[in-house]
Chain A
Amino acid sequence: MKSRLITLANAAAVFAALLAIWQLVLWIFHVPPYMLPSPWAVARAVVSRFPSLVGALAITTAEAGGGLIASVAVGVVIALMFAQSRWVRRMLYPYTILLQTVPIVAIAPLILMWVGAGTAAVTLIAFIISLAPVIANTTQGLISVEENLVHLFLMHNASPSQLLFKLRLPHAVPSLFVGIRIASGIAVIGAITGELYAGSSRVGQGGLGYSILYASSQLQTDYLFALVLAATVLGFAFFFLVMFLEWYFLHRWHESARTSEAE
């Protein structure tokens, strides 16, 4: 507990130092506010534009969250299929890599054309971009079960479904969480990037990405900074939520819990 407080205090001190440097830069170099607003101006923008900021945050949260949940659900199903045979993996795994390597900016116009602008398109982009790490990590967890454990199950004449649900799937849970942790960050980035292209079906309403684009075009730099701050907070929130879930499900039995205890 004490060490956590020290960590928090350290983080707060670094944050305060960064704010001080920021303000100093403004004073020393006389940077105009439309180029770099002061921390105080950003704070004022957060307060004065709070309802629209929260609205944009809520939209992006829903899109990134929806994309992430869908990628976990679909990713686990695909991983279960991949785990069934090496042949299936060899045939279909390259397409997973394709998901990871195709730049989202290249396919965003296509998605926009197929689904139309708005939440559905952005959620789809967040889903596509966060799917690969879930598939890759879960598949790895499913197929890397120790041979003797499989033999143990075979000695009891375990059925294929018993092997899958009582051995492979629980064994893959820690790997699944690694995948979700990576995917959670990517989903937020994907949603914001998606909003730059397909952010809103109605003018003036959209998530953080759309609002960033809008604020930039209006030279509302203080609000733009407030939006970037909100995007960072959202990324952290996703990451810590996944960390909490990982701890909740694994802390009683998994070695990672022992490592964190030892630390």
Chain B
Amino acid sequence: MTEDFAVPEVKLAGVSKSYGGRLVLDAMDLCVAKGDFVTLIGPSGCGKSTVLKLISGLTAASAGTIQVDGMLSRNARQTISYIFQDATLLPWRTVRQNVGLGLELEGVTARKREQKTAALLDLVGLSHVAKAYPRELSGGMKMRVSIARALATSPRLLLMDEPFAALDEMARDRLNEELLRLRDEQKWTAVFVTHSVAEAVFLSTRIVVLAPNPGRIHAVLPVGLPWPRTAALRTAPGFESLVARVSHALREALTS
């Protein structure tokens, strides 16, 4: 796995972004290696979500270059999945149909879709609600459907924009553990956005602290906590000290 980490999956070089003349991201350089789990954290308005949109090609950079697996991000979309802050499920589709949406749009046959969605629903523990509609699910279940949908197309890069922000702490912790279990099984690279320091420390291999006005990298903190990570890690002394370091960096970023 270590040798894979040397090959960059995502590379941002001097990337800036302006909206209507206002600079929101200033000359960002960022390299995400294969298998990395990079979390972007920072105060509101520091451009965290903008970075994800730039990597996904949903918005174009005002300056600089972005490469995903050596390609322009727009051309690499088949290898990328995006999980949004809300579950973004289609309410008129059942859970199974929602999970299979990406495959359907990409022209995968119904039989293959069926097999893949069944396996993924099993993986996220939602086989029993396959025929339910989103309005019948809890917030946590909706987010698990959203994760299953994102994984259905076998992405190599997963972009997640505060996916668990709307959940209570218990549901968030449980989904954090589930996310790492899925990552262990499927070996994707992740760029994750959150406001929660504890979540960032628990999930990441690296934490990128962003400063606002305009958005820029303030600090990059490696997370050397052992793998696999379980709930017990949250009470380990190393975890607490890392949380304190990241919180300190965040406070600095606000005043820098």
**Among listed B88-96, B236-244, B247-255, interface-contacting one:** B88-96
**Among listed B28-36, B76-84, B168-176, interface-contacting one:** B76-84
Asked if residues A253 and B92 are in contact (CB atoms below 8 Å), the reply is yes
Assuming A148-B84, A153-B105, A155-B56, is B90 touching A167 (CB within 8 A)?
A: yes
Of the candidates A149, A154, A173, A253, which one forms a contact with B134 in the assembled complex, judged by CB atoms under 8 Å apart? A253
Asked if residues B135 and A162 are in contact (CB atoms below 8 Å), the reply is no
Asked if residues A156 and B92 are in contact (CB atoms below 8 Å), the reply is no
Chain B 173-213 against A: per-residue CB contact (8 Å), 1 yes, 0 no? 00000000000000000000000000000000000000000
Interface centre among B80, B86, B88, B105 (most CB of A within 10 A): B105
* B: contact size bracket: 20 to 34
For residue B153, CB closer than 8 A to chain A, the reply is yes
Interface centre among A153, A155, A156 (most CB of B within 10 A): A155
For residue B6, CB closer than 8 A to chain A, the reply is no
Asked if residues B90 and A151 are in contact (CB atoms below 8 Å), the reply is no
Asked if residues A255 and B106 are in contact (CB atoms below 8 Å), the reply is no
Question: Which residues of A (145-165) have their CB < 8 Å from a CB of B?
Answer: 146, 148-149, 151-158, 162
For residue B72, CB closer than 8 A to chain A, the reply is no
Chain A: interface secondary structure?
Answer: helix
Asked if residues B81 and A148 are in contact (CB atoms below 8 Å), the reply is no
Assuming A151-B84, A167-B90, is B133 touching A253 (CB within 8 A)?
A: yes
How far does the alpha carbon of A254 sit from the alpha carbon of B93 in the complex, in Å?
Answer: 11
Chain B 58-91 against A: per-residue CB contact (8 Å), 1 yes, 0 no? 1000000000000000000110111011101011
Chain A 162-200 against B: per-residue CB contact (8 Å), 1 yes, 0 no? 100011001101000000000000000000000000000
Interface centre among B82, B90, B92, B134 (most CB of A within 10 A): B92
- Inter-chain contacts of A156 with B (CB < 8 A): 77, 101-102, 105-106, 153
Asked if residues A253 and B91 are in contact (CB atoms below 8 Å), the reply is yes
Chain A 238-260 against B: per-residue CB contact (8 Å), 1 yes, 0 no? 00000000000000111100100
Asked if residues A158 and B105 are in contact (CB atoms below 8 Å), the reply is yes
How far does the alpha carbon of A254 sit from the alpha carbon of B77 in the complex, in Å?
Answer: 31
Of the candidates A166, A167, A253, which one forms a contact with B135 in the assembled complex, judged by CB atoms under 8 Å apart? A253
Which chain B residue has the least Cβ–Cβ distance from A252? B133
How far does the alpha carbon of A155 sit from the alpha carbon of B86 in the complex, in Å?
Answer: 16
Assuming A156-B105, A157-B77, is B134 touching A151 (CB within 8 A)?
A: no
- Inter-chain contacts of B133 with A (CB < 8 A): 252-253
- Inter-chain contacts of A154 with B (CB < 8 A): 58
How far does the alpha carbon of A157 sit from the alpha carbon of B56 in the complex, in Å?
Answer: 12
- Inter-chain contacts of A149 with B (CB < 8 A): 88, 90
How far does the alpha carbon of A171 sit from the alpha carbon of B90 in the complex, in Å?
Answer: 8
How far does the alpha carbon of A157 sit from the alpha carbon of B101 in the complex, in Å?
Answer: 12
- Inter-chain contacts of B153 with A (CB < 8 A): 156
- Inter-chain contacts of B56 with A (CB < 8 A): 151, 155
* B48–chain A nearest beta-carbon distance, Å: 15
How far does the alpha carbon of A170 sit from the alpha carbon of B94 in the complex, in Å?
Answer: 13
Seed contacts A148-B88, A149-B88; 10 additional CB < 8 Å A-B pairs? A151-B58, A151-B82, A152-B82, A156-B77, A156-B101, A166-B105, A167-B90, A253-B93, A253-B133, A253-B135
Chain B residues engaging chain A, CB cutoff 8 angstroms: 56, 58, 77-78, 80-82, 84-86, 88, 90-93, 101-102, 104-106, 133-135, 153
Q: What would 20 A/B residue contacts be, using CB atoms closer than 8 Å?
A: A146-B88, A148-B84, A148-B86, A152-B84, A152-B88, A153-B105, A156-B102, A156-B153, A157-B105, A157-B106, A162-B105, A166-B105, A167-B90, A170-B92, A173-B92, A252-B133, A253-B91, A253-B93, A253-B133, A253-B134
